[in-house]
């Protein structure tokens, strides 16, 4: 059976960047972000509304509020959206942290992303780009989660006894659930951009390592070869010209001595 180049190339592990597992995980996390966004839109469309009415109490009248529903549906949707975002963020950043810090088979004992410590302009640009993506991801995720937590607290306040009149009613403002979905979905897409940046950095590191290895091998081969001396042979025409010039010089000196 013939051995091909693909058989000699080491296969990527599940924790390596660019592996099938990593790509599948990114796709799953994006789908979780989309599902979270849909749940947020559902919670926005079904959130509780408040109606203020006047009720006669004895000799006077009192303004009270009534909820339009129990708030169970937006409560469940916002809770599901919060959990999906948290699971997706945990999986994505856990995978990226493992892939960045774990050594690879091609470079045992060395992390695969030492390019972050390089002083080249490309490495510096990628470093700042990754930092921007990382900070933006957590900011969007934190804002979306805070809005969802507030929505869960508001909707859970009238799960029971929602039909009775109250003097004080809390409701979510229009558009907050939708904004939480937008922030969560944006966080998922930014994490994918962070993953692609890390993958590009790894490829740059592999290229630099390959070039450095070729330079070292070429230097070792050149140093191991014996250095032979090179003999410089003067052309025949040059030697005959030099001999003729020497004879003519001697003849001129003799004529000068005879004349004297």
- Taking 60 as the threshold, does the pLDDT of residue 173 lie above it? yes
| Cross-strand partners of 24 | none
Q: Which of 27-36, 113-122, 139-148 has the lowest mean pLDDT?
A: 113-122
Q: Which of 93-102, 151-160, 211-220 has the lowest mean pLDDT?
A: 211-220
82-100 core/surface letters (b: 16 or more CB in 10 A; e: else): bebbbebbebbbebbeebb
Angle at 29 between CA 123 and CA 172, to 5 degrees: 110
Kindly provide the residue ranges of all beta strands, DSSP E only, lying in the chain, ordered along the sequence.
Answer: 50-57, 60-67
- Taking 60 as the threshold, does the pLDDT of residue 3 lie above it? no
pTM for this entry: 0.69
- Taking 60 as the threshold, does the pLDDT of residue 210 lie above it? yes
CA separation for the pair 64, 166 (Å, rounded): 5
pLDDT tens per residue, range 29-73: 899 999 999 999 999 999 888 888 877 766 667 888 888 888 899
Q: Which of 14-23, 68-77, 228-237 has the highest mean pLDDT?
A: 68-77
Q: What is the DSSP letter of 11?
A: P
Per-residue model confidence (pLDDT) at position 77: 94
- What DSSP string describes 36-75? HHHHHHHHHHH---EEEEEEEETTEEEEEEEESS--HHHH
Q: What is the DSSP letter of 117?
A: G
pLDDT tens per residue, range 89-108: 998 888 888 877 765 554 55
Per-residue model confidence (pLDDT) at position 109: 46
Between the alpha carbon of residue 54 and those of residues 63, 67, 145, the distances in Å are: 4, 14, 37
pLDDT tens per residue, range 247-258: 555 555 555 555
- Taking 90 as the threshold, does the pLDDT of residue 150 lie above it? yes
């Amino acid at each position: 059976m013939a051995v091909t180049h693909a058989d000699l190339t080491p296969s990527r592990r599940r924790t390596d960047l660019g592996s099938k597992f990593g790509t599948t995980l990114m796709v799953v996390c994006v789908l979780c972000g989309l599902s979270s966004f849909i749940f947020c839109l559902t919670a926005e469309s079904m959130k509780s509304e408040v109606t203020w009415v006047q009720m006669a109490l004895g000799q006077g009248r009192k303004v009270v509020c009534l909820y339009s529903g129990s708030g169970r549906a937006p409560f469940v949707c916002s809770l599901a959206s919060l959990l999906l975002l948290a699971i997706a963020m945990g999986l994505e950043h856990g995978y990226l942290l493992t892939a960045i810090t774990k050594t690879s088979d091609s470079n045992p004992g060395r992390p695969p992303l030492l390019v972050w410590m390089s002083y080249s302009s490309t490495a510096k640009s990628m470093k700042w780009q990754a930092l921007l993506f990382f900070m933006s991801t957590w900011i969007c995720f934190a804002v979306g989660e805070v809005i969802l937590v507030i929505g869960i607290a508001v909707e859970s306040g009238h799960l029971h006894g929602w039909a009775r009149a109250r003097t004080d009613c809390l409701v979510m403002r229009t558009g907050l659930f939708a904004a939480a979905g937008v922030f969560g979905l944006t966080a998922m897409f930014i994490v994918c951009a962070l993953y692609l940046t890390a993958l590009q950095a790894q490829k740059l590191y592999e290229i630099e390592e390959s070039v450095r290895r070729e330079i070292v091998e070429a230097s070792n081969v050149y140093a191991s070869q014996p250095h032979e001396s090179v003999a410089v042979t003067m052309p025949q025409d040059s030697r005959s010209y030099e001999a003729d010039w020497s004879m003519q010089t001697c003849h001129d000196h003799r004529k000068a001595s005879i004349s004297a």
